[in-house]
Amino acid sequence: MRISVVATLLLALASTAQAATSITVDGRQNCIQSALSPGAAPYGTAATFQLSPGRYVMSLSANTMSCSSGDCPINTVIVQGGVLNAKWGVPVTTQPIVVDVGGNGASTLYGYTSDDVCSDNTGQATLLIQQAY
């Protein structure tokens, strides 16, 4: 009897928990070339994703991004969008950061890197997004 009660509680908890979301950010394709570089042509586009209003914990769970063939690791993805603390962009690294998403419906957010020369960047990072309770 006791085992069936515990099993029922665990099943109820598992069915209400949300799985984490992973977004791949490519060091070259999702790199926004610096607007401050003289004569630089636009390069890359941000990875886009949508989140419902709420509080999320974001971090990089895997990262092989680098510029200049491995000479300089790219350890940050900028997440920008929504109407709360990520509106102007927040840096996401391996250290978890809390991102609040507001509004009445899903918000589009953007994940990208930035560099003065994006064309020589390599690797990818996995942006892990977990809902905070």
pLDDT at 10: 35
What share of the chain in percent tops pLDDT 90? 60
Confidence of residue 95 (pLDDT cuts 50, 70, 90): very high
Q: Which H/E stretch holds residue 54? A: strand 54-63
Q: Positive or negative, the Cα torsion across 53, 54, 55, 60? A: negative
Arithmetic mean of pLDDT over the chain: 84
Buried b (16+ CB within 10 A) or exposed e, 102-111: eeeeebebbb
Give the residue from 126, 101, 133 showing the smallest Cα distance to 21: 126
Residue 84 DSSP symbol? S
Stated pTM of the model: 0.80
pLDDT at 12: 36
Taking the C-alpha atoms of residue 106 and residue 108, their distance in angstroms, rounded to an integer, is 7
Domains of the chain, with CATH numbers?
19-131 (2.60.120)
- For 15-32, write each residue's pLDDT tens digit: 334 578 999 999 999 999
- Identify whether the C-beta of residue 130 lies closer than 8 Å to the C-beta of residue 56: yes
- For 3-18, write each residue's pLDDT tens digit: 543 333 333 333 334 5
